[in-house]
Amino acid sequence: MPQAKTIIITGASSGIGAATALALAQGRANLVLGARRIERLEQVAAQCRRLGAAALAVPCDVAQRAAVDRLVALGVEKFGRLDVMLANAGYGFLERIHEATDAQFDAIVNTNVKGTWYAMQAAAAVMLKQPPIGMGKSRRGHIIAVSSGAARRGLPLYGIYALTKAAQLSLCEALRVELLPQGVYVSSVHPLATATEFFDVASRQSRFRSTGLGHAQPVEAVARKIARLIRRPRPELWPVPGSAWLLALAAAFPRLADHVMARTVGNRPR
């Protein structure tokens, strides 16, 4: 019988993180779930246990390196190994670039960029020392960052958020080449609009309101594709079919992309 994978998920109390935890729980994974909202996190962990998984809930603010290191240490202490790090924690806000504040910029970079970097470093430190399982490209471990379609195209009012998503993608691209020879694989995930509380949270923190771009993809669909990515690693996962090609088209025709963005981003001042 195959050994259960030990998987750490940050931002696991809701949205993509929670849905992915539940999807993986059905495969009897060992789950280490981190988030700031511990009551909601414990509820997700309890659901995972009912599905047959072992689940550990750990309070974790990814903007704090010590909290991320503790999350990883507790997971390895309990399960003896780390097979997958899913760096999912993050948020967005809406603001015009020229009107954003230092506080807004620093806070989102600390969570989305430094939080992902902390998770990568803590996971790599463990994975590079542990014995390989099998002969695959993720034989020592798999690091996955949940980025966004915004990594490839800056969005009006989401410019600073897009900056953090592009930074995550750059980290993944570089780290994948650096660690592949040692048997650690690195992937990035690029959802578009997903049916989570993301846009509500972003709107509450902003002077603008947004419902995103077009139809929201069910979070369960994204979670199933992430679970499949863990089974069959590849560089990038674009959960919406054709979205990578659309972003490539936007890069080839930036004036057209500007026009489309101006018409389709749902926003209005409060």
Residue ranges and CATH numbers for the domains of the chain are 6-269 (3.40.50.720)
Angle between helices 115-127 and 65-79 (to 10 degrees): 30
> What is the percent of the chain where pLDDT is above 90?
72
Q: Are strands 236-237 and 184-189 parallel, antiparallel or unpaired?
A: parallel
Reduced to 3 states (helix: H, G, I; strand: E, B; else coil), residue 144 is strand
pLDDT bracket for residue 36 (50, 70, 90) = very high
Q: Are strands 208-212 and 266-269 parallel, antiparallel or unpaired?
A: antiparallel
Q: How far apart are CA 4 and CA 34, in angstroms?
A: 19
Instruction: Look at 100-114, 127-141, 187-201, 213-227 and tell me which has the smallest mean pLDDT.
Output: 187-201
Among 118, 158, 161, 185, the active-site one is 161
**Active-site residue flag, 161:** yes
Q: Across residues 222-237, what is the average pLDDT?
A: 97
Of 243, 263, 56, 229, nearest to 155 (Cα)? 263
